[in-house]
Structure 1
């Protein structure tokens, strides 16, 4: 996308869960500027289920003007859309089942009408994997009653991802709301861009720094170490050599 994009998502530090308690462990919600590989902010919550309380607190501290904020979490709520629009930003929010009637209305109608909607197809190949993403965009929103109160909402988006790995095919449909009137190709790119927070941040934190195995949980220790790991990762990304990230870390 032409404007800058900020991806917001939570990651659980699994080893911080206390033994014998039915908790997932500390969750850190991060705001990730993928084009710069930079974490611009983070918020700590007691568990993944509290993500929706942390996200507005995180958004309120960030400069959002002319920025597309993408969130794939339980944070698809009018209040977050309002907060982003008030701060002169734009939103791309994943629509989840917690939106009840709106989710049902969107999923049913998009499946019925997608053959008549503009579509973009993107195919990725790599490591024995073929992934096809078809992005359909609906601009006629008058038939979606529950969208009337959503601030400046212009588009409903459906992304159908088909993944084939070693002959095994899996499919997934995701639905999004946005206040931008972008093309299917631009929305397809923005959704792919969002997953950079998983592939370029969370994956590296686990594979290079073994974050899921870190047991520090006293006081602010877990959050402080999470911050240091992210700073270290940003420095490692700046090294211009052909070494793997694990090798770069050891060489440092």
Structure 2
């Protein structure tokens, strides 16, 4: 089974708004292995760059081969699909208004829902915190030939519908469309839906924990490479916590603060 890695960027907000040339703003991009919590690659977005140009440099053959790559809609780009496919990997991408032609094609295809098209759907219901969520993933390989000239490696298109029902609030419905190089043999509708949800681990389990638990955005460390190095240390610590099965990182940090020799023993004896 291919391992899933998610790509996303994060601004270190404590480095923003300073005039000193040695205190430049820092924006980091990372590839995050969803299963293990390990950051496989990270680099800063340099001056006169953006996340798209930074991603081009990070897409190396060693990183791509044998893996499933996901990213947010900003990175639904032809070069991304081509490079991942030629590198022996697979992609799962969402289409939005940065690719209006693709988005319109997908919207018309799924709204038409022609009876002679091969469809596959998966429905999942979950509840919690007083809210009922209904997620329906629908996919089809029958738009592949039409889109293949522009989108290298494409095998399926998919539609993600999420309906949220909460007492006392209006029912909300979100619809997203996407493309993937995973064939129906390698990924059915349930698998595609799971991959899309798993992508957000980079936001919820990496970026959010660095901000909320480790207070990264409030940090006043902002000179030269120090903020990026601090982010590397945070990434490493969170990956170690995931490896150890720690559920509450803040509580575990307090334990190690009170028992430093336990932390030292963990490091010296290995995992």
Coarse TM-score class (shorter-chain normalised):
0.7 to 0.9
The aligned length equals 244
- Superposition RMSD on alpha carbons, in Å? 2.4
Separation in 2 of the partners of 1:153 and 1:46?
Answer: 31
Q: Which structure is larger by alpha-carbon Rg, 1 or 2?
A: 2
Report if aligned partners of 1:102, 1:147 keep a CA contact under 8 Å in 2. no
Query: Which residue does the alignment assign to 2:142?
Result: 140
Separation in 1 of the partners of 2:39 and 2:29?
Answer: 10
Separation in 1 of the partners of 2:197 and 2:231?
Answer: 25
| Residue 212 of structure 2 corresponds to residue 211 of structure 1 | no
TM-score, normalisation: structure 1:
0.86
Query: Where does structure 1 lack aligned partners over 5 or more consecutive residues?
Result: none
After superposition, what is the alpha-carbon deviation per residue over 1:200-242, rounded to whole angstroms, capped at 9, x for unaligned?
A: 1122112210122223332112211111111111222334567
In the TM superposition, residue 128 of structure 1 has moved relative to its aligned partner by: 2.8
Report if aligned partners of 1:160, 1:172 keep a CA contact under 8 Å in 2. yes
Query: Which residue does the alignment assign to 2:192?
Result: 187
Query: Which residue does the alignment assign to 2:205?
Result: 200
Query: Which residue does the alignment assign to 1:221?
Result: 226
Separation in 2 of the partners of 1:231 and 1:114?
Answer: 49
Query: Where does structure 2 lack aligned partners over 5 or more consecutive residues?
Result: 20-24, 257-271
TM-score, normalisation: structure 2:
0.81
Separation in 1 of the partners of 2:18 and 2:131?
Answer: 38
Higher relative contact order (CA 8 A, sep 6+): 2
Report if aligned partners of 2:36, 2:239 keep a CA contact under 8 Å in 1. no
Q: Classify the secondary structure of the residue corresponding to 1:205.
A: helix
Separation in 2 of the partners of 1:52 and 1:237?
Answer: 29
Deviating more after overlay: 72-81 vs 125-134 = 125-134
In the TM superposition, residue 174 of structure 1 has moved relative to its aligned partner by: 1.6
Q: Classify the secondary structure of the residue corresponding to 1:98.
A: coil
